[in-house]
């Protein structure tokens, strides 16, 4: 008996020791250090393959932490020993990427972070930059017809082989986009080296660039995004800085439940740079669930800070009783899922006239073949568009700063949005657009339930991508014409915002039904109006049930009501309250 008890005691003791010994091993196994696979910071070597091996190790065991040491890691396109030119997180689940202040330095045609079919992945405390930025900065020495001579600064070495995709005019004193400055996209011949660090650039059409201005020549605009998020759920990007990328900072397609907190897109301090990302800071397509962006800074981009939208698909064929063929104007994919609600929408007015539930959908090239649960609406016509009302993420953007970028601040093309406590400074276009488009871009969807409150706008809408208002609500149809019927957008509130400056109006409202404009402060508006709407601090057209309540306008002419009403507003559609 005693022998049996002794054996049991010894077994339990050994088991306990094993358990105690195994606990730290298990915990340690969850921490995957990139250094274990040969990625060493600050050694000047290409770390892509080593980091990828560490990522693959994490992919095999959900719940890991991928840990970098502080320092600089590199992804080098020119490394002949590695065919890998991006960090792929395909299929990874439940992973924390801990940067510890590391910087990822890229060179050439590489992709920093590529996520596909991921769930529950977060990135924190890291930065991204490019060794040779995808633009050059120089002084415009002369303009002769369509020919520019540009003396490029030494920080941006050129040899005449660099393409010129876009050119923007900057103020040499501030190194920021010039108010009323010029730009050109794509219509540019290959630059020719006309001397040391001097480029001769021939435009395909005349553009009145001013000698003495700075030119920022973008050698690439789209394609190499810092973060690509494809068909993922629960992705968080926190405490991340993007100094440069030849494309967008964060690009997401068909993903859900995304969070950005303390994301900084910045012109790198201490450099002669004049730009950060060559395109948008963030861009979200066909999202679901929620998108939350907080406490972030977006500076110096070549395009918008935030764009959230789906796609309108244009019907090309009605097949039988329940099937339609449709495609996006520019060939993008936006495949609906079984159970999604599609809004049949007039391309001429962007007004929804019927809804149907999706039974199935396939895609072949650009053509989407969609079978419905019920018959096609009798009103449906070839050329009308389909908007996916199930792909409309809730959007919250708060406590962010957008400054000194080309184009707009936020483009809100979703439903259920709260935009509050943000600052917009020097956006060349409008600060906030609430919009959709059945024409060239075909970005959906007609919005509902949008709140814009307690934001500050300074010196916006005074350059390229100029709009009717600093805050603009509108819909575009073919050839960027304004939609002419009230009710595309519904239930909108614009409250307690401060707007200082702008070539046109402070607030522009079009194609809307049910808008409250309350307690906003507007001054220094209409500095150089480019349209009738731009002559008023607040302008309303093609809208109904608009209430203006206690807005404070500085600089109004005597006896001016403080707003203008254009065509398309039914009688009594605008109500003025004290």
What is the 3-class SS of 98-118, one letter each residue?
EEEEEEEEEECCCEEEEEECC
How much is the pTM? Answer: 0.94
Q: What pLDDT does 559 receive?
A: 84
Q: What pLDDT does 82 receive?
A: 67
- Cα–Cα dist 116/100, whole Å: 24
DSSP state string for 509-528: EESEEEEEEES-EEES--SS
- Written as tens digits, the pLDDT of the chain (578 aa) is 434 433 343 433 333 333 433 333 344 549 999 999 999 999 999 999 999 999 999 999 999 999 999 999 999 988 777 676 889 999 999 999 999 999 999 999 998 999 999 999 999 999 999 999 999 999 999 999 999 999 999 999 999 999 999 999 999 999 999 999 999 999 999 999 999 999 999 999 999 999 999 999 999 999 999 999 999 999 999 999 999 999 999 999 999 999 999 999 999 999 999 999 999 999 999 999 999 999 999 999 999 999 999 999 999 999 999 999 999 999 999 999 999 999 999 999 999 999 999 999 999 999 999 999 999 999 999 999 999 999 999 999 999 999 999 999 999 999 999 999 999 999 999 999 999 999 999 999 999 999 999 999 999 999 999 999 999 999 999 999 999 999 999 999 999 999 999 999 999 999 999 999 999 999 999 999 999 999 999 999 999 999 999 999 999 988 889 999 999 999 999 999 98
Which residues in 262-287 are b (16+ Cβ under 10 Å) and which e?
A: bbbbbbbeeeebbbbbbbbbbbbbbb
Six-digit token pair at 76? Answer: 């080098």
Of 359, 360, 254, 377, residue with least CA distance to 315: 377
Q: What pLDDT does 6 receive?
A: 36
Residues 6+ apart with CB under 8 A from 68: 33, 34, 39, 41, 97, 98, 99, 100, 102, 126
Q: What pLDDT does 558 receive?
A: 84
Domains of the chain: 25-131+223-299 (2.160.20.10), 135-218 (2.40.10.170), 311-388 (2.40.10.170), 396-577 (no CATH)
Q: What pLDDT does 379 receive?
A: 97
């Amino acid at each position: 008996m005693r022998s049996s008890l002794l054996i049991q005691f010894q077994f339990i003791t050994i088991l306990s020791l094993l358990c105690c010994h195994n606990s730290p091993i298990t915990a340690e196994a969850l921490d995957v250090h990139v250094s274990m696979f040969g990625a060493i910071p600050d050694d000047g070597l290409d770390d892509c393959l080593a980091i990828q091996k560490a990522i693959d190790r994490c992919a095999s065991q959900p719940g890991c932490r991928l840990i970098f040491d502080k320092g600089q890691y590199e992804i080098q396109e020119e490394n002949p020993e590695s065919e890998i030119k991006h960090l792929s997180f395909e299929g990874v689940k439940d992973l924390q990427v801990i940067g510890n202040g590391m910087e990822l330095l890229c060179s050439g045609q590489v992709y920093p972070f590529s996520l596909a079919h991921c769930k529950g992945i977060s990135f924190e405390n890291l930065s991204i930059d490019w060794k040779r930025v995808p633009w050059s900065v120089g002084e415009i020495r002369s303009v002769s017809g369509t020919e520019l001579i540009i003396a490029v600064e030494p920080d941006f070495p050129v040899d005449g082989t660099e393409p010129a995709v876009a050119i923007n005019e900057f103020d040499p004193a501030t190194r920021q986009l010039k108010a009323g400055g010029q730009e050109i996209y794509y219509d540019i011949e290959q630059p020719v080296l006309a001397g040391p660090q001097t480029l001769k650039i021939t435009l395909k059409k005349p553009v009145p660039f001013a000698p003495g201005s700075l030119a920022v020549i973008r050698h690439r605009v789209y394609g190499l995004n810092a973060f690509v998020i494809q068909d993922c759920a629960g992705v968080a990007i926190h405490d991340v800085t993007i100094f440069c990328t030849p494309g967008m900072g964060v690009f997401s397609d068909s993903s859900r439940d995304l969070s950005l907190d303390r994301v900084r897109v910045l012109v790198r301090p201490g450099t002669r740079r004049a730009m950060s990302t060559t395109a948008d800071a963030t861009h979200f397509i066909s999202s679901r669930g929620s998108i939350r962006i907080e406490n972030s800074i977006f500076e110096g981009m070549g395009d918008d800070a935030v764009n959230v939208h789906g796609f309108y698909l244009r019907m090309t064929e009605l097949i039988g009783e329940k099937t339609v063929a449709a495609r996006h104007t520019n060939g993008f994919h936006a495949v609906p899922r079984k159970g999604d609600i599609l809004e049949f929408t007039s391309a001429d007015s962007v007004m929804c006239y019927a809804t149907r539930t999706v039974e199935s959908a396939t895609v072949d090239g650009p053509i989407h073949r969609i079978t419905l649960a019920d018959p096609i609406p009798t009103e449906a016509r070839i050329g009308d568009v389909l908007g996916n009302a199930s792909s409309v993420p809730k959007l919250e953007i708060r406590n962010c700063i957008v400054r000194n970028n080309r184009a707009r601040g936020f483009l809100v093309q979703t439903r259920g949005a709260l935009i509050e406590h943000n600052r917009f400074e020097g956006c060349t276009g409008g600060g906030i657009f609430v919009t959709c488009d059945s024409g060239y871009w075909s970005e959906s969807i007609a919005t509902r339930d949008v709140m814009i409150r307690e934001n500050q706008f300074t010196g916006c809408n005074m350059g390229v991508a100029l709009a009717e208002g600093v805050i603009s609500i509108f819909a575009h149809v073919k050839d960027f014409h304004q939609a002419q019927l009230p009710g595309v957008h519904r239930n909108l509130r614009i409250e307690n915002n401060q707007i200082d400056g702008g070539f046109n109006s402070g607030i522009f409202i079009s194609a809307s039904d049910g808008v409250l404009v309350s307690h906003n402060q507007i001054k220094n508006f209409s500095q150089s109006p480019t349209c009738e709407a731009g002559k008023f601090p607040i302008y309303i057209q093609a809208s109904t049930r608009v209430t203006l309540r206690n807005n404070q306008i500085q600089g109004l002419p005597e006896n001016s009501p403080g707003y203008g009403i254009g065509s398309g507003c039914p009688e009594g559609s605008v109500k003025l309250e004290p």
